[in-house]
Structure 1
Amino acid sequence: MKYKNLLFDVDDTLLDFQDAQKIALKFLFESMDIPYNEETEKMYNTMNQSRWRQFEQGILTSEQVVNGRFGIFFNQLGIEVDSVEMERNYRQYLKEGIKPVENSLELVNSLSKQANLYIVTNGIAETQSYRLQKSGLIPYFKDVFISEELNAQKPSINFFNTVFSRIPYFNKEETAIIGDSLTSDIQGGINAGIDTIWYNPKRKEVKDPVMPTYDIAHLNEIYDL
Structure 2
Amino acid sequence: MKKSYKTLLFDLDDTLLDFAAAEDAALTNLFKELQIPLTEVMKETYKMFNQGLWRAHEKGEIGRDELVNTRFSIFFEHYGKNVDGAEYEQKYRNYLKEGAQLIEGALEVVERLSQQFDLYIVTNGVKITQQNRLKRSGLLPYFQHVFVSEEVGFQKPRIEFFNYVFSYIGITDLDSTIIIGDSLSSDIKGANVAGIDSCWFNPFEKENATDSVPTYQIKRITELYEILNK
| TM score, norm. by length of structure 1 | 0.97
Partner of 1:69: 71
- What is the DSSP-based 3-state SS (H/G/I as helix, E as strand, rest coil) of the residue aligned with 2:169? coil
Matched ranges for 1:63-212 at <5 A: 63-212=65-214
CA separation in 2, counterparts of 1:171 and 1:138? Answer: 25
- Computed over aligned residues only, the root mean square deviation of the Cα atoms, in angstroms, reads 1.1
Q: What are the superposed Cα offsets for residues 181-218 of structure 1, whole Å, 9 maximum, x if unpaired?
A: 00000000110000010000001111112121101000
CA separation in 1, counterparts of 2:173 and 2:135? Answer: 28
Q: What are the superposed Cα offsets for residues 132-180 of structure 1, whole Å, 9 maximum, x if unpaired?
A: 1221111111111000001000000000000001113531000000000
CA separation in 2, counterparts of 1:186 and 1:18? Answer: 20
CA separation in 2, counterparts of 1:96 and 1:130? Answer: 7
CA separation in 2, counterparts of 1:40 and 1:31? Answer: 16
Q: What are the superposed Cα offsets for residues 40-72 of structure 1, whole Å, 9 maximum, x if unpaired?
A: 011101110110001000111111100111111
Q: Which amino acid aligns with 1:107?
A: V
CA separation in 2, counterparts of 1:142 and 1:129? Answer: 13
Q: Which amino acid aligns with 2:189?
A: Q
CA separation in 2, counterparts of 1:15 and 1:92? Answer: 17
Q: Post-superposition shift, 1:20? A: 0.4
Q: Post-superposition shift, 1:26? A: 0.9
Q: Which amino acid aligns with 2:115?
A: K
Q: Is the alpha carbon distance of 1:144 and 1:170 closer, same or farther for their aligned partners in structure 2, counting shifts above 3 Å?
A: farther
Identical-pair percentage: 50
Which runs of 5 or more residues in structure 2 are unaligned?
A: none
Q: Post-superposition shift, 1:103? A: 1.3
CA separation in 2, counterparts of 1:201 and 1:209? Answer: 20
Which runs of 5 or more residues in structure 1 are unaligned?
A: none
CA separation in 1, counterparts of 2:166 and 2:16? Answer: 21
Deviates more, 1:78-87 or 1:177-186: 78-87
Deviates more, 1:213-222 or 1:164-173: 164-173
Partner of 2:36: 34
CA separation in 2, counterparts of 1:187 and 1:202? Answer: 19
Q: Which amino acid aligns with 1:137?
A: L
Deviates more, 1:117-126 or 1:1-10: 1-10
CA separation in 2, counterparts of 1:18 and 1:154? Answer: 19
Partner of 1:51: 53
CA separation in 1, counterparts of 2:130 and 2:158? Answer: 19
CA separation in 1, counterparts of 2:171 and 2:218? Answer: 28
Q: Which amino acid aligns with 1:73?
A: F
